[in-house]
Amino acid sequence: MAFKNVYLAVVEQLQTNSNLLTYIHVDNFVQGFKESLSTKKYAIIFEPGPETEVTQRQANVKGQKILELEYEIQIYCRMILVSNTVKSAIIGNETNKGLLDFVDDVKAAIREDMSFSYNTYGRSLSVENAAGSFDLDSSNRYLSVSIDDKTPTGYDTVFCGDSTLAGAVVAANIQASLRQLGQFDDDGYKLATCTFNATTNQFTINSPHIGPSARVVVTAGASDDASAELGFTTPTEYRGTNIIKTTFGSVTPENKAFPVRFRMLPLLVTEETLIGG
């Protein structure tokens, strides 16, 4: 479902762009061609194009293979003639943007974030706990936390606390314990984070890395296990995601019928995915 998620991230970024919304009606950000569109002057049509395997390489984490996939999203900038002349539709006039300005605005909206807020860290999310404080003690104080498939000595005795503590304090203890296991900034542990959401009473442990080889696996501590108390018996684990390249293809005219004018902007997005992961 990676193409779908990238596609939706692109759509959302343009749909919420403040400049585009000054002259494009919110209903005219259209996913896929359809028989008819409203008669409003401007519309953007998002049409998924081809998906291509670009290259494959070996990652540095337990021999995992990373595949690069390129997705093409065809973005059609459509406008109805804003005056009696084609010239005004192309270059605009005193009151309306021309088609070339329209395309430039779409490009600018994409350039604001070329990863479309899609890139994420590997992480593990606890279940929602019933309360925001946790009863820990000498027999109920450790978790096992593997980050990016690494298991350094002590990974299975990550200290959470040994008294009744607020969730934010437990999270700080977990983060400090993880970071003590780190030797290098890029080893996953030295810059790991743990946070607590006081609204849902959930913990999140994050790898400091983005991309599909980044992950966090939380299991029972080797002894004095606290996973049940903290909601980590059935955590939700997310591999990281990473867009590594975004480029524009050639803008081409797609003028279907007078008085409607189109420009088609191919957007090429390359994402890392994990083979068999």
Sign of CA dihedral 97, 98, 102, 108: negative
- The CATH class, in words, for 2-118+242-274 is alpha beta
Task: Write phi, then psi, for 121 (nearest 5 degrees).
Answer: -85, 150
pTM of the shown model: 0.85
Do the domains 2-118+242-274 and 121-238 sit in the same CATH topology, yes or no? no
Taking residues 80-89, report their average pLDDT: 70
Contact 271, 2 (CB under 8 A): yes
Q: In angstroms, rounded to a whole number, what is the distance separating the alpha carbons of residues 160 and 140?
A: 9
- Please, which residues have CB within 8 angstroms of residue 271's CB and are 6 or more apart in sequence? 2, 6, 68, 69, 71, 241, 242, 243, 244
Lowest mean pLDDT among 36-45, 194-203, 265-274: 36-45
Q: In this structure, which CATH number among 3.40.50, 2.115.10, 3.30.70, 3.30.110 belongs to the domain 121-238?
A: 3.30.70
pLDDT bucket at 218, cuts 50 / 70 / 90: very high
Per domain, the residue ranges of the chain are 2-118+242-274, 121-238
